[in-house]
A and B are shown apart, each in its own frame.
Chain A
Amino acid sequence: MMARRSIEPLVWILFSVGGVVAAMFVPVLLFLFGFAYPLGWLASPSHAHLVAVVGHPLVRVLLFFLCTLCLLHAAHRFRYTLYDGLQLQHLQELILLVSYGGAFVGSVAAGVLLWQFG
């Protein structure tokens, strides 16, 4: 039997998936909604059209996962930046609470917002 009983592989998978999602989708969304539409580089979709898109349950589920995974990725990075970069290993409990707790709160907030949207 292999010595696999820790939670670390699971946390790493979420971090890893979050990294892929953050690198692939967030720049596209930022480019479209931050630059291309407001600056008129691309024809902007109408408000009603966007409301209809976000109103679709599948889109809301995808957006929820996008937010959650990105937040988990950020939490993991933040945690190790504080541990190793700032040498705060002795504040482990507090750092875990702030980083993953923050990701949890952010995910819940995203979930509530997306739920209420419909």
Chain B
Amino acid sequence: MVDRITVEVARYRPEKEAEPSFQAYEVPCRKDWVILDGLNHIKDHLDGTLSYRWSCRMGVCGSCGMTVNGEPKLTCATFLADYAPGPLRVEPLRNFPIIRDVIVDIDDFMQKLSAVKPWLIRDAEKPLAEGEYRQTPAQLDEYKQFSMCINCMLCYSACPVYGLDPEFIGPAAIALAQRYNLDSRDQGARQRDEVLSKHEGIWSCTFVGECTKVCPKHVDPAGAIQRYKLSSAMGSVKDFLMPWRGK
């Protein structure tokens, strides 16, 4: 068992350097250590200037996504020992502008996320006295998978279409739109359709499928997009055959 491993971390300090470069650190390679533990070790004991995002350490907050040996990974859910004897490379998520070291600018994703209105939309709220909006287990199963998304953006980093065309609304936003579209309590599908059925919505997707491959929560965004393509295309056919529909 290798007890130490070299981690090459991408460094970029805009006030000092024009281009990102790599800095190598040697960290303990304990079998229960994830890459984030290695980064915390660097920050606490070797180099306090290293900047990265993290929070929960348990695959829930979606903050610590980075590119590890070329693949987008949650660093809190990826073990150092799997990369022994190393060295392993930690870089910022691809397809996003770099702010500092391995921290990327997520504004574009945040805007896209809010554009699909990922919350329950009701035409009219029923009075409180009528009680909760109840749901059967089958109705829950309809959208539960898509509700597992933690907004970690690994899918955006893996998506070659988003890399080529930043206007593409992207895998997680579409999966989350579907999470609410398929919720029996929601009535906002038509509002979301205005964003989703545009070229920059679902039609930009060429079904590469990398988003589903890298998703740490098994959300299957590619599946969500294909399902929405089918329902949107069927809607188009109905609109064409019955032009009075929906007016």
Contact = CB atoms under 8 A, between A and B. Distances in A.
A12 B193 contact: no
B112 interface: no
Contact of B235 (A4, A84, A89): A4
Contact of A4 (B160, B161, B232, B247): B232
Interface string B182-218: 0000000010011001110001001000000000000
Contact of B203 (A1, A2, A6, A87): A6
Interface string B144-166: 00000000000000001100100
A10 interface: yes
A9 B229 CA distance: 8
B233 A13 contact: yes
Contacts of A6: 198-199, 203
A8 B206 contact: no
A78 B247 CA distance: 37
Contacts of B190: 2
A65 interface: no
A89 B190 CA distance: 31
B127 interface: no
Question: Which 8 residue pairs across A and B have the least CB separation, nearest first?
Answer: A9-B236, A9-B233, A8-B203, A4-B236, A3-B194, A80-B206, A13-B233, A2-B193
Interface of B: 160-161, 164, 190, 193-194, 197-199, 203, 206, 229-230, 232-233, 235-237, 239, 246-247
